[in-house]
Structure 1
Amino acid sequence: MLGLFDKSHKIKGTVVLMPKNVLDVNELNSVRSGGVGGVVSGLFGAVADVTGQVVDTATAILSRNVSFKLISATSTDAKGNGKVGKETYLEKHLPTLPTLGDRRDAYGIHFEWDANFGIPGAIYIRNYTYDEFFLVSVTLEDIPNQGTIHFVCNSWVYNFKDYDKKDRIFFANKTYLPSATPGPLVKYREEELEILRGNGTGERKEHERIYDYDVYNDLGNPDKDVKLARPVLGGSSTYPYPRRVRTGRKATKKDPKSERPASELYMPRDEKFGHLKSSDFLTYGIKSLSQTLLPSLENIFDSDLTWNEFDSFEEVRDLYEGGIKVPTDVLSDISPIPVFKEIFRSDGESVLQFPPPHVVQVSKSAWMTDDEFAREMIAGVNPNVIRLLKEIPPQSKLDPTLYGDQSSTISKEHLEINMGGVTVEEALNGQRLFILDYHDAFMPYLTRINALPTAKAYATRTILFLKDDGTLKPLAIELSKPHPSGDNLGAESKVVLPADQGVESTIWLLAKAHVIVNDSGYHQLMSHWLNTHAVTEPFIIATNRRFSVLHPINKLLYPHSRDTIQIIWT
């Protein structure tokens, strides 16, 4: 009787993976302490394998230290689960394939197989090495009656001791609804989902891939200062969302409902930016080097410059026209890293020089014009807030018992001055008046904002007119702030009209600046984070908890949700 495997027949395979990121934070710390040479030689040097043959470091480390076992999708063991094949190991490092990107390495592998084993549907992988690696794919070739089977993995694989089940499982690149899953794979599909869901206890570790829900209870730091306490967002019956990935950190001492802040937040490992794109090297590297580079950059500027602020427009223009000159001793520490050769010149001249925006290339003062101010409301980063104006004056929805009279002071007379003979009634009926309204969004917070020593702000309303050529023209900006005797006494407002000469032109420019500040703040917190990322994150968590990688919905959503959690928390 034939055994499980026919030794005379082997399946050939190719494994594509990437070693641990060359720009990992820990390795960059070695750079900071002067250990560049050791890091580079360790990553890119050559060593001898067990036979004495000189091979590249990656081959010596990974060969015989990463094992694979096939799991059948058509044949079962005594318990009715898919048969598990014999353990086999990575073999020789293959020449770089032309389709592979930076730092991707291909390895050969062979699996013993016979007809009784059936068609492989999954693979167990065990990493015996100390460091994790990013598994890109596994391809099996020349399987009788099947041809080629692809396993698209795109996942980090840590040392087997980090996993309760020791082995990581990956499924063939096919889709099945739960009811249509091949019987031998049902158990493995369910076990993988259990791992992704976790048990809801304990503090999450870096290597884990657990998707669990929590409220936003880590926005403040009451242990450091009572003024830094922040409310918990989500979790109430009225406002159950937003929800984030649970980290399980310890509670703060002064607020048991809040978690202690941390410099590095847990997120499922595969959600972190990897090195799938060359741009990730750049982003990750610059962030990691910041502790070394930024103090040096601080000394480059005048001593009276606040590091996180610009004192003049000239300092902003210098980033585009002259760049920043970095001391040669800083450059010598980072120049051995290839990616930074593209950023920093060896002589320290004109480094960190940014390409100027197109509008500035045309004219350095073009950004100050009313045309550009209005154009960016549609073409800028926050185009979803501008609305059709339906009545004059615009109305507030703030509770008058808390905030008093918040009625707008913009009148028809303010607007018709610059409407070229068109009346407000005609413009309203023709749908030609629009409003960018940040009054209600900012008014409840202005008392606290303006109490800060370095911050002053208004709540703004901006009225725009649709011209015959299809462009927008700003007609008026209303600047409002709470009554100095109390928020409940209403708003103090001033209407500013367009001007191009004298003091009035400067006031008009400042009014537009306040609108842009409102727009930028609202975009970051509301349009971008709350209405986009905070809405999306619970769906990403739910997708990974409820839909196996074999589920067609998972494969449909993955390209759209990939990297989103990292962006939310960065």
Structure 2
Amino acid sequence: MEARLSKETVLKLSTDHKFGAEGNISTHKVEFIVDSDFGIPGAVTVVNGYDNEFFLESITIEQNFHFACKSWVQPKKLDPEKRIFFFNKAYLPCETPNGVKELRERDLMQLRGDGRGRRVCSDRVYDYDVYNDLGDPIMGDAYARPTLGGQHNPYPTRCRTGRPPSTTDSKTESRPSESELIYVPRDEELEDTKQETIDQGKLMAILRNIMPAIIDKIMGNEEVFDIDHYIKESGQSEFNSQLPLSRILLNLGGAVQEFFKFDPPKTYSRRRSHFLLDDEFGRQVLSAFPLSIESLKVFPPVSKLDPSIYGSVESALKEEHIIGHLEGMSIQQALEENKLFILDYHDVYLPFLERINGLEKRKAYATTTIFFLTKMGTLNPIAIQLALPTGNPNTSSKQVLTPPKDDTSKWLWQLGKAHLLHPHMRYTLKTNAISRQTLINAEGTIETDYTPGRYCMQFTSAAYKDWWRFDMEGIPADLVRRGLAVPDATEPHGIRLLIEDYPFAADGLLIWSSIEKLVRTYVNHYYKNSNAVSSDNELQCWYREFINLGHPDHENATWWPKLANPEDLISMLTTVIWTVSAQHAVLNFGQYPYGGYVPIRPPLIRKLIPKEEDPEYSDFVKDPQRYFLSSLPSLFQATKFMAVINIGSAHSPDEEYIGGRNDVTSWVGEPEIIDAFNQFSMEMKSIEMEIKRRNADPKLRNRCGVDVIPYDLLIPSSGRGATGRGVPNSVTA
């Protein structure tokens, strides 16, 4: 049956009507003439005959039929295609009314790219491309970067822009000008509030770095600095308005100076010895590196690198290095009782080290750190192996550091730790585009602020190639894979944690379970059996596109889950929502709270640890603290890094947190789904209260105690700014 159409209706606005003006939200009435037996409206087509785009919030017909549009409609001179908006009732393809099927296919065709043409800001086309836009070879070889994606550097794909190739390298896409925005489909652009928050953060970053840049220029970046001077002390900026004018001006000057200082990161303490404590170091590994630590199954650990290229796979770690730190256990007993854990960057770093250490004032090791789970339930680092390439597979350069026994070894230990510690799609594409323009591009923020420099993104490619698996992205599978949990059907989440006081895992499992419950209700509402899933052509095409176009370098992997029944779909959607919400929140919004104090987690190290035969060793012995501080980034590097991660860790005022949605009206025809979401929202509030209760429990020593940082990262809600808490629905920063 062909679609039945009403007569076209024209909405005429005054010539001085301003589209897009701040706060200019208007409601208009139009009249459609239809036959009495027209039936239920399934779709509305819209053509914009004006000169400017407008944002269409919604359409309501006779107060009964709601269309949640939430999209920018372009003038027909830019886009002659009719925009199509559908009634708020979801249909499986086999259930879609005949009158709507053709419109649905036409709408999908408008969104699909064909790999041709340059995209402009008014487009709404979604297409894929490799990361060949990070380098700028026109600027010279120092700015050239390899393509990420393909056989040599496997990588997921990005949103295609269609910019022309560089004039000096046909394989590299040309860089946009400073004033040009990298293309994302129009509806993926940031809303004004979000953009203003980013712009304000950038301005503050510039102002905060004026003085450090001047000091670096005058004093040279070798000067040892006191980063504490650039961190606020509470109360310092307050002044009394009742004081005489001269006193007010003096206090105002201090207040202005204080205003441009950084808020204290959670790891900051005026007690300089604080960042040397090993138990605190262990807590921060659990909190700040929650996806990296693994259970140690074999001691000593064995490398998986090719020994013909990188030398012996055997570790320099020996029994005598750790036996005295196992609370009386043998190594075998500690392994059997799951007491030993490892943070291992050896195989990721070693292939790059020769190139990294050849960069100016960049020094790194391939580190392996062993931790012991104490009777108190805390992790203590008990040995750190530092490896360097020798250029000869028959020799190796591996150094082992253990907990200190004197002042000199104390600072060697600290240097070792410093070298070690390096709707669910809202704003995601735009965030990625901004990153490619200023963060992960050649000589961008990531390259200039982190030790690997120009090789930073190749690191991520190596990790994606050897480690990333979609079927292991969900938190239960991830914990079991890393040996942090074992399957146990008697436990609430089907697994038992081997570190009971593991805040990320304990809190994350609560959120995971609530997401899974909501997704299960949603999927079972629409898909009653396996046939409904396997016969849904749109769903199956989406999954094939996700694999073949989103992850083409892994498209032939055998570990991709099948999509054959509702349980498969529930698992897949839960994993996606978890990854872009809670997992991302932990990794992103903890950057400044846990990494903002540079002496604890320096992003860049400028010196290797001196050996006794090195000329610098005497300087180290004479003043190990000064040597340690001189190994850290320069003042300008440190404050620039702090400013950037402060912006990246901040929530904007329009943030949409998990359990909250601004557009519940899109479910107006699905009361069962609305009820399930309301219950999900209440569960998020309960989880927030439970996390706060845990943070106040003195038995949980990894999140409660004197000078112990409460674990807030998975508290669902937050205010604006770098709060160290809050789980947005999507990757927004």
Does the pair score TM above 0.5? yes
Provide the secondary structure at the position in 2 that maps to 1:159: coil
* Other-structure match for 1:496: 401
* Other-structure match for 1:301: 212
* Other-structure match for 2:7: 85
Provide the secondary structure at the position in 2 that maps to 1:477: strand
Q: CA deviation at 1:347?
A: 7.5
Unmatched runs of 5 consecutive residues or more in structure 2: 15-21, 238-251, 423-448, 474-540, 550-565, 585-647, 649-729
In 1, the alpha carbon distance for the partners of 2:24 and 2:99 equals 32
Q: How does 1:175-254 map to 2 (within 5 A)?
A: 175-236=90-151, 241-254=155-168
Aligned letter for 2:182?
Answer: L
Asked if 2 retains the 8 angstrom alpha-carbon contact of 1:211 and 1:545, the reply is: no
* Other-structure match for 1:321: 233
* Other-structure match for 1:157: 73
Asked if 1 retains the 8 angstrom alpha-carbon contact of 2:230 and 2:262, the reply is: no
Q: CA deviation at 1:131?
A: 4.1
Asked if 2 retains the 8 angstrom alpha-carbon contact of 1:197 and 1:545, the reply is: no
Instruction: Provide, for residues 110-166 of structure 1, a one-character-per-residue CA deviation record: whole Å limited to 9, x for no partner.
Output: 323442443222222333444434333333334xxxxx222222322333322131x
Instruction: Provide, for residues 390-409 of structure 1, a one-character-per-residue CA deviation record: whole Å limited to 9, x for no partner.
Output: 22221111111111224210
Instruction: Provide, for residues 503-544 of structure 1, a one-character-per-residue CA deviation record: whole Å limited to 9, x for no partner.
Output: 1111111110111029997999649995789999x9799479
Q: Which one of the candidate residues 300, 306, 311 is aligned to 1:393?
A: 300
Q: CA RMSD in A?
A: 4.5
Distance 1:347 1:132, change over 3 A: farther
Asked if 1 retains the 8 angstrom alpha-carbon contact of 2:383 and 2:403, the reply is: yes
Q: How does 1:123-134 map to 2 (within 5 A)?
A: 123-134=44-55
Provide the secondary structure at the position in 1 that maps to 2:364: coil
Is 1:383 aligned to 2:290, yes or no?
yes
Asked if 2 retains the 8 angstrom alpha-carbon contact of 1:223 and 1:254, the reply is: yes
Instruction: Provide, for residues 324-367 of structure 1, a one-character-per-residue CA deviation record: whole Å limited to 9, x for no partner.
Output: 99xxxxxxxxxxxxxxxxxx999845334544234436956533
* Other-structure match for 1:350: 258
Aligned letter for 2:212?
Answer: F
Asked if 2 retains the 8 angstrom alpha-carbon contact of 1:322 and 1:353, the reply is: no
Distance 1:129 1:498, change over 3 A: farther
In 1, the alpha carbon distance for the partners of 2:254 and 2:100 equals 56
Q: CA deviation at 1:449?
A: 0.6
Is 1:107 aligned to 2:23, yes or no?
no
Between 523-532 and 223-232, the greater mean CA deviation after superposition: 523-532
Aligned letter for 2:418?
Answer: A
* Other-structure match for 1:438: 345
Distance 1:534 1:315, change over 3 A: farther
In 1, the alpha carbon distance for the partners of 2:107 and 2:147 equals 32
Provide the secondary structure at the position in 1 that maps to 2:99: helix
* Other-structure match for 1:460: 367
Asked if 1 retains the 8 angstrom alpha-carbon contact of 2:130 and 2:149, the reply is: yes
* Other-structure match for 1:97: none
Q: How does 1:400-415 map to 2 (within 5 A)?
A: 400-415=307-322
Is 1:266 aligned to 2:180, yes or no?
no
In 2, the alpha carbon distance for the partners of 1:528 and 1:504 equals 34
Between 255-264 and 359-368, the greater mean CA deviation after superposition: 359-368
* Other-structure match for 2:84: 169
Between 456-465 and 208-217, the greater mean CA deviation after superposition: 208-217
Instruction: Provide, for residues 215-252 of structure 1, a one-character-per-residue CA deviation record: whole Å limited to 9, x for no partner.
Output: 2222322232224333323244x987522222111112
Q: CA deviation at 1:322?
A: 8.2
Give the paired residue count.
Answer: 442
In 2, the alpha carbon distance for the partners of 1:140 and 1:354 equals 52
Asked if 1 retains the 8 angstrom alpha-carbon contact of 2:356 and 2:451, the reply is: no
Instruction: Provide, for residues 412-451 of structure 1, a one-character-per-residue CA deviation record: whole Å limited to 9, x for no partner.
Output: 1000122232221211121111111101100011111111
In 2, the alpha carbon distance for the partners of 1:361 and 1:541 equals 51
In 1, the alpha carbon distance for the partners of 2:312 and 2:226 equals 42
Provide the secondary structure at the position in 1 that maps to 2:259: coil
* Other-structure match for 1:367: 275
Provide the secondary structure at the position in 2 that maps to 1:303: helix
Between 128-137 and 188-197, the greater mean CA deviation after superposition: 128-137
* Other-structure match for 2:248: none
Instruction: Provide, for residues 274-326 of structure 1, a one-character-per-residue CA deviation record: whole Å limited to 9, x for no partner.
Output: 24xx5x14433236x64xx666554333623279999767335523338999x
* Other-structure match for 2:379: 472
Distance 1:442 1:323, change over 3 A: farther
Provide the secondary structure at the position in 1 that maps to 2:403: coil
Q: CA deviation at 1:457?
A: 0.7
Asked if 1 retains the 8 angstrom alpha-carbon contact of 2:9 and 2:32, the reply is: no
In 1, the alpha carbon distance for the partners of 2:28 and 2:123 equals 28
In 2, the alpha carbon distance for the partners of 1:240 and 1:210 equals 25
Q: CA deviation at 1:194?
A: 0.6
* Other-structure match for 2:414: 509
Q: CA deviation at 1:569?
A: 11
Asked if 2 retains the 8 angstrom alpha-carbon contact of 1:90 and 1:109, the reply is: no
Q: CA deviation at 1:481?
A: 0.8
Distance 1:544 1:106, change over 3 A: farther
Structure with max Cα Rg = 1
In 2, the alpha carbon distance for the partners of 1:305 and 1:435 equals 38
Distance 1:219 1:477, change over 3 A: same
Distance 1:104 1:322, change over 3 A: farther
Asked if 2 retains the 8 angstrom alpha-carbon contact of 1:375 and 1:472, the reply is: yes
Higher relative contact order (CA 8 A, sep 6+): 2
Distance 1:208 1:271, change over 3 A: same
Q: CA deviation at 1:179?
A: 2.1
Distance 1:441 1:560, change over 3 A: closer
Distance 1:470 1:559, change over 3 A: closer
Provide the secondary structure at the position in 1 that maps to 2:42: strand
Q: CA deviation at 1:497?
A: 0.9
Unmatched runs of 5 consecutive residues or more in structure 1: 1-75, 93-101, 143-147, 326-343, 547-551
Q: Identity, % of aligned pairs?
A: 34
* Other-structure match for 2:19: none
* Other-structure match for 1:135: 56
Which has more strand, going by share of residues? 1
In 2, the alpha carbon distance for the partners of 1:496 and 1:136 equals 61
Which has more helix, going by share of residues? 2
